[in-house]
Amino acid sequence: MAAEGFQTARGTRDVLWPESWQMEAMRDLALSWAARFGYTLIETPIVEKSGVFLRLGETTDIVQHERYRFVDAGGEDLTLRPEGTAAVARAFIQHGFAEAPQPVRLCYFGPMFRRERPEAGRYRQHTQFGAELYGSDSPLADAEVILLALGLVDMAGLKQPEARINSIGCQVCRPAYRQALIEFFSQRQDQLCADCQVRLRQNPLRLLDCKVDVALREDAPDVQAFWCDDCRNHITAVIDLIREAGYRIERDRHLVRGLDYYTRTVFEVGHPTLGRQVALFGGGRYDGLTAGLNGPWVPAVGFGMGIERLLSALPAPLPMPVAARVYVAHLPHFEREGYRLARDLRAQGFAADSDLLDRSLKAQLKEAGRRATIAVIVGGREWADGLVTVRDLGRAEQETVERDQLANYLRQKIQEDQA
RNA sequence: GUGGAUGUAGCUCAGUUGGUUAGAGCACCAGGUUGUGGCCCUGGGGGUCGGGGGUUCAAGUCCCCUCAUUCACCCCA
């Protein structure tokens, strides 16, 4: 296409109808579903001081190079938000939510930015829905956010998601596991890929989800053997609660998450139709993330969900409302009359428009057939008698109606059609 | 960031070993029906062949660069 002109920046796109409407429908579905659990919507800014996201972890690619970070004209170091959790945590602290009645339930829905190589279903700007539950360290809380996410996927029409869960331990038991991993992989250092050589020093847990050294990890120590009693009871309870709700979930001992702030529970849910896009949603427990942002220590758990991915995985689009649309066609010399009639109809609550190109009646009805269910034809012989013609475009039937009875007639007609 | 493939009309795509005014289907517009859509028929509009440079008498076609898309890696919210 026109290379001389402007196009969307790499990895970004225009969302056109009807997908734009699908996004809105998903937003409505997500927010109303979350509201049933008591989650209130929070809209954080798209841009934050860069420090907010620095604590995501020193070894994370998001932090290392996949961010939109810039210094603005005033010298401020800013970053386009790559995910929701850190920004919501910042807001939690800023507004003193730790002093509010606990638990605090917040959800968000909006664009996230990440500068990675574009692929199908992977955009530099994508939309995420997420929920964060603060103030409870109970497994009931973990289960709640997972059930919230699974329930949304279910309501959107996607069946049989593949849910995986793991516990990466807590401050009590994780150090020993971490040490065991380091020892295991150090002995096999010559077999590790280049990236894993680095991970071994910086974040040994991530060796487990390396896609290169898959054979090695099979023999790596299982975190299960290192769990303390609290961690063991916690993950067991979470899994029970999910299954009790009727969902399938399996423990995956190789599951660790890309972000460094997680403790105990981590989970990821995918779907076979997504293929390489991997995760539909993912999340976990991040007790104390708020303390890392210079706030109070608060237990928390949450998830983030990729909306574009969810929409692309749906077997059928979300239902579109079939609004009855009225098209006002006009006979020669009655363009203004049609225009005014459409205006009146809109004022009375109808979705109505008229021809703006002074086209032939034939052309007008052709357009009406494309985008309306009812055509009102004004002008000609009937106009002098105070009549208009109402044509049912679906049934190809029409009758003349008194102009001042038109609104009532249409209302009744639309009601009958919907019944 | 690495490697491969692709880029021709709004959309989906043809374009023979380089060779006249670059095509089709769908979509759009008009007419056939001077007051009636969906089907049909006829006609029409719309393209600097992603962009730039090069080779050549001649480039959509060959070469280089660049931009974009896509697939596989990497990574993942």
CA of A167 to C1' of B21 (A): 71
Question: Would residue A319 count as lying in a domain?
Answer: no
Answer yes or no: do A287 and A350 share one domain.
no
pLDDT at site A418? 79
Closest nt to residue A391, judged CA to C1': B36
Per-residue pLDDT for A339 more than 50? yes
Closest nt to residue A284, judged CA to C1': B77
Residue A313 carries which DSSP code? H
Answer yes or no: do A297 and A335 share one domain.
no
Short-list A325, A355, A350, A360, CA closest to A337? A355
Answer yes or no: do A273 and A293 share one domain.
yes
Answer yes or no: do A372 and A308 share one domain.
no
Q: What percent of chain A has pLDDT over 90?
A: 54
Short-list A354, A386, A143, CA closest to A264? A143
CA of A273 to C1' of B37 (A): 40
Answer yes or no: do A25 and A112 share one domain.
yes
Question: Would residue A178 count as lying in a domain?
Answer: no
- Note the strand B nucleotides within 7 A of protein beta carbons: 1-2, 8-11, 28-31, 33, 35-38, 48, 50-51, 67-77
pLDDT tens, residue by residue, A245-290: 999 999 988 888 766 678 899 999 988 776 555 688 999 999 989 9
CA of A24 to C1' of B8 (A): 36
Answer yes or no: do A49 and A146 share one domain.
yes
> How much is the average pLDDT of A352-373?
92
CA of A359 to C1' of B31 (A): 14
Q: What percent of chain A has pLDDT over 70?
A: 91
Per-residue pLDDT for A125 more than 80? yes
Quote the domain boundaries for residue A269.
19-173+227-313
More confident call, A344 vs A8: A344
CA of A274 to C1' of B59 (A): 42
The CATH number for A289's domain is 3.30.930.10
Per-residue pLDDT for A195 more than 90? no
pLDDT at site A251? 92
Kindly report which amino acid residue has its CA closest to the C1' atom of nucleotide B47: A1
CB-hemisphere CA count at 13 Å for A96? 2
Closest nt to residue A372, judged CA to C1': B37
Per-residue pLDDT for A155 more than 60? yes
pLDDT at site A276? 54
Name the region of A379 (left: φ>0; alpha: ψ -120 to 50; beta: rest).
left
More confident call, A60 vs A164: A164
Answer yes or no: do A27 and A124 share one domain.
yes
> How much is the average pLDDT of A84-110?
95
How does residue A184 score in pLDDT terms, banded at 50, 70 and 90?
confident
Answer yes or no: do A309 and A408 share one domain.
no
CA of A204 to C1' of B66 (A): 41
Q: Report d(CA A41, CA A130) in Å as an integer.
A: 10
Per-residue pLDDT for A64 more than 90? no
pLDDT at site A277? 53
How does residue A3 score in pLDDT terms, banded at 50, 70 and 90?
very low
ipTM: 0.81
Q: Report d(CA A296, CA A178) in Å as an integer.
A: 26
Q: How many domains does chain A have?
A: 2
Question: Would residue A242 count as lying in a domain?
Answer: yes
Answer yes or no: do A288 and A376 share one domain.
no
Answer yes or no: do A135 and A254 share one domain.
yes
Question: Would residue A240 count as lying in a domain?
Answer: yes
Q: Report d(CA A94, CA A62) in Å as an integer.
A: 24
Closest nt to residue A130, judged CA to C1': B77
Highest mean predicted confidence (pLDDT) among A182-186, A214-218, A340-344? A340-344
CA separation, residue A405 to residues A326, A348, A390, A401, A412 (Å): 15, 12, 11, 7, 11
How does residue A5 score in pLDDT terms, banded at 50, 70 and 90?
low
CA of A71 to C1' of B52 (A): 33
Per-residue pLDDT for A45 more than 60? yes
Q: A40 Cβ partners below 8 Å, 6+ apart?
A: A105, A106, A107
Domain boundary among A313, A341, A374: A313
Question: Would residue A206 count as lying in a domain?
Answer: no
Question: Would residue A141 count as lying in a domain?
Answer: yes
Answer yes or no: do A364 and A268 share one domain.
no
Per-residue pLDDT for A140 more than 90? yes
Q: Which residues of A154-166 are buried (b: 16+ CB within 10 A; e: fewer)?
A: bebebeebbbbbb
Domain boundary among A286, A313, A340: A313
Question: Would residue A148 count as lying in a domain?
Answer: yes
Question: Would residue A285 count as lying in a domain?
Answer: yes
Per-residue pLDDT for A408 more than 80? yes
Answer yes or no: do A366 and A294 share one domain.
no
> How much is the average pLDDT of A239-250?
94
pLDDT at site A1? 35
pLDDT at site A4? 46
Per-residue pLDDT for A194 more than 80? no
Per-residue pLDDT for A2 more than 60? no
What's chain A's average pLDDT? 87
CA of A97 to C1' of B40 (A): 70
The CATH number for A360's domain is 3.40.50.800
Closest nt to residue A122, judged CA to C1': B76
- A337 with A376: CB under 8 angstroms? no
Closest nt to residue A365, judged CA to C1': B37
CB atoms within 10 A of CB A359: 15
